[in-house]
Amino acid sequence: MVENKHTILVVDDTPENIDVLRGILHPKYRIKAAISGERALKVARSEPQPDMILLDVMMPGMDGYEVCRRLKQDPLTADIPVIFVTAKDSVQDETHGLEIGAIDYITKPVRPAIVKIRVQTHLALRDQTDHLENLVQQRTSELNQSRLEIIRRLGQAAEYKDNETGLHIIRMSHYSKLIASALGKSEEWAELIFQAAPMHDVGKIGVPDALLQKPGKLTPEEWQTMKRHPEFGAEIIGEHQSQLLFTAREIALSHHERWDGSGYPHGLTGYNIPLSGRVVAIADVFDALTSNRPYKDAWSNEDAIAHVQQNAGSHFDPELVAAFTSVLPQILEIRRKYAD
């Protein structure tokens, strides 16, 4: 079994000094060497990256302080611990080295025992920090997955109550992400819309079953009750600091608003409607039109597409209709893949 050694980059313009440190640290560590600041930066950025850098200060051209500054300014190398190994032994020199990002300062002539202990201690701290960060990332990922699953299940509960299948929320969530991506927004925002969209109709939990499953046209009184489901949804989700839940609430409350102000619950117009709600409005309507419901048969894809396009500027944001049209091949593929 090959031992997993840490790699240490030793930087010094005097080869004899590199040989001294190599002799102290070898064979416990894998040693790389650089005799200039410029070379040190290249080695630090190359794979496999060093786990630590022992850095001389007084070098021709780029001195060690400048090397350290550049290492700490580069996201690729900023986390590599740097220990200065130098003949500059004043308090001011040591303070300056630590201020610009070094974790330790060893003066020459070096003492082997001190070098070994300092290197071992700081590598152990780095390993422990990496381990803790990995644990935090793992736990955070698990929490996020649990939260997403709860959101999907709540969204699915609302769809089952509405006599629909869970495939509706899968399809419309994918449609929403495709439309959001076609706008040129960040991948993170498009993913946020994808994750929040399943909660768009959670407010239907507060609507009587008789209304949701009624095969005929609703009376004016029944329709007024049905139109309250966006507000029910906002109340169910509540107000949170979480960006995901904030967006889910925003979508639940605004996805039935219309570009021309004829929607509900607040009759918002144009850009006053949150972008997330405008995106989901198109995805939701298109999937509703192409699906069987208690009160209607499914429309053809062609008829549903024509409806969305004809209602640009009235029901829907015209820019989003153009985005929807640009990703129609992908939308229809999602429609086929997740058919009822």
pLDDT value at residue 139: 79
312 backbone φψ class: left, alpha, beta (φ>0; ψ -120 to 50): beta
In the predicted structure, residue 3 carries a pLDDT above the cut 60: no
Chain segment 256-278, per-residue pLDDT in tens: 999 999 999 999 999 999 999 99
d(CA 51, CA 38): 18
User: Three-state SS for 45?
Assistant: helix
pLDDT at position 318 is 97
Contact criterion met (CB below 8 Å) for 74 and 68: no
Amino acid 165: pLDDT:
53
| Cα separation, 280 vs 174, whole angstroms | 10
Higher pLDDT, 339 or 318: 318
Q: What is the pLDDT of residue 1?
A: 38
- The residues pairing with 312 across neighbouring beta strands, listed in sequence order, are 316
Quote the mean pLDDT of the chain.
90
Contact 55, 67 (CB under 8 A): yes
What CA–CA distance (Å, rounded) separates 94 from 240?
A: 47
CB neighbour list of residue 103: distance below 8 Å, 6 or more residues apart: 81, 82, 83, 122
CA quadruple 199, 247, 305, 311: dihedral, nearest 10? 120
- For 111-136, the DSSP string reads -HHHHHHHHHHHHHHHHHHHHHHHHH
Greatest Cα pair distance, the chain, in angstroms, is 93
Choose the most confident range, by mean pLDDT, from 159-163, 207-211, 313-317. 313-317
Q: What is the pLDDT of residue 109?
A: 93
Cβ-based neighbour number of residue 167 at 10 Å: 16
Mean pLDDT in residue range 303-331 = 97
CA distances from 114 to 25, 86, 109, 126 (A): 11, 14, 11, 18
Structure confidence at residue 209 as a pLDDT band (50, 70, 90): confident
Instruction: Find the mean pLDDT for residues 6-13.
Output: 96
Please tell me the distance from the alpha carbon of residue 204 to that of residue 248, in angstroms, as a whole number.
Answer: 14
Model confidence at 98, pLDDT cuts 50, 70, 90, reads very high
Q: Are 64 and 56 in contact (CB under 8 A)?
A: yes
Name the band, by pLDDT with cuts 50, 70 and 90, for residue 2. very low
Bridge partner list, 106? 85
Nearest to 207 by CA among 232, 242, 181: 232
E-state strands within 164-273 = none
Instruction: Determine the pLDDT at residue 185.
Output: 87
Q: Interior CA angle at 168 toward 166 and 337, to 5°?
A: 95
Can you name the residues that pair with 8 across neighbouring β-strands? 31, 52
Beta strands in 91-240 (DSSP E): 104-107
Max mean pLDDT among 41-55, 123-137, 207-221 falls in: 41-55
- Domains along the chain with CATH numbers: 7-110 (3.40.50.2300), 150-337 (1.10.3210.10)
Question: What's the rounded mean pLDDT across residues 203-226?
Answer: 85
The proportion of the chain whose per-residue pLDDT surpasses 70, expressed as a percent, equals 91
* Predicted confidence (pLDDT) per residue in 133-184, tens digit: 888 888 767 666 666 666 666 666 666 665 555 688 889 999 999 999 999 8
